């Protein structure tokens, strides 16, 4: 086993922070070049006219998943050493719903808002201020929310463990889901474009 590199002591905290900084800058640059710092591009997915965000994020998930699976299969990565947060299914589902509502209303997610702020977009600045205010409010209210925050604990669990199926089966099913999702997204985009063209005519 050679990875995760940090877990096997190949570099320390300081070098890890440098890697995180460089990777973060590269990720932000890629998002901006892909147009994901533009609120119109991001919100177009909610109107089903441009599902590029869905396609790119699903591609990233499948790429990371298959990469980790095969690197583990050849013995390069120890999956047991890959960091996973514990699962608290109900509070995390509620948190995901709140994040989704915020995305729809504000037009950004936390990452894309930072990208847009770096290019001077005022609406993104307002959105990011809202995120910081929400974090502060949550911190102040945490004693009241702590019991809900820690509700329905499931520990460190993955889909293969939850479903009691081999990792390879889950990887295959997610890839099939991605292929179907890409085909469906393309069909929806073409359908919406045709409707818009018909209304314009």
Query: Are residues 34 and 126 both part of a single domain?
Result: no
Quick one: pLDDT band at residue 1, thresholds 50, 70, 90? low
Same domain (yes/no): 165, 148: no
**Residue 50 CB burial class (10 angstroms; 0-12, 13-18, ≥19):** buried
Q: What is the mean pLDDT of residues 32-57?
A: 90
Same domain, 162 and 143: no
CB 87 within 8 A of CB 155: yes
Residues 165 and 138 in one domain: no
Is-contact 87 157, C-beta < 8 A?
yes
173/139 same-domain check: no
- pLDDT of residue 14 exceeding 90, the answer is no
Structural domain harbouring 25:
1-78+158-201
- Which residues lie below 8 Å from residue 29, measured CB to CB, with a gap of 6+? none
CB atoms closer than 10 angstroms to residue 36: 22
Would you put residue 85 in left (φ > 0), alpha (ψ -120 to 50) or beta? beta
pTM of the predicted protein model: 0.79
3-class DSSP assignment, residue 153: strand
* 164 shares a domain with 70: yes
Tokens of 93: 């589902």
Q: Give the chain's domain count.
A: 2
- CB-based contacts of 198, cutoff 8 Å, min separation 6: none
Banded pLDDT at 200 (limits 50, 70, 90): low
Same domain, 108 and 149: yes
Q: Is the pLDDT of residue 82 over 80?
A: yes
Are 1 and 39 part of one and the same domain?
Answer: yes
Question: Do 128 and 170 belong to one domain?
Answer: no
- Looking at the structure, do residues 74 and 59 belong to the same domain, yes or no? yes
Dihedral sign (CA 8, 30, 65, 135): positive
Do 136 and 115 share a domain, yes or no? Answer: yes
pLDDT for the residue 76: 86
Q: Do 99 and 43 share a domain, yes or no?
A: no
pLDDT of residue 201: 53
């Amino acid at each position: 086993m050679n990875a995760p590199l940090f877990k096997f002591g190949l570099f320390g905290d300081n070098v890890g922070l440098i890697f995180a900084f460089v990777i973060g800058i590269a990720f932000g640059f890629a998002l901006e070049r892909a147009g994901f710092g533009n609120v119109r591009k991001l919100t177009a997915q909610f109107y089903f006219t441009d599902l590029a965000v869905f396609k790119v994020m699903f591609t990233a998930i499948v790429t990371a998943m298959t990469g980790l699976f095969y690197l583990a299969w050849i013995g390069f990565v120890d999956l047991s050493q890959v960091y996973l947060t514990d699962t608290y299914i109900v509070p995390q589902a509620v948190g995901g719903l709140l994040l989704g509502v915020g995305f729809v209303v504000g037009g950004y997610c936390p990452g894309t808002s930072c990208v847009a702020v770096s290019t001077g977009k005022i609406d993104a600045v307002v959105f990011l201020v809202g995120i910081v205010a929400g974090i502060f409010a949550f911190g102040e209210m945490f004693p009241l929310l702590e019991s809900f925050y820690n509700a329905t604990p499931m520990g460190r669990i993955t889909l293969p463990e939850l479903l009691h199926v081999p990792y390879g089966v889950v990887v295959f099913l997610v890839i099939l889901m991605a292929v179907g999702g890409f085909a469906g997204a393309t069909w929806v985009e073409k359908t919406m474009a045709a409707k818009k063209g018909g209304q314009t005519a």
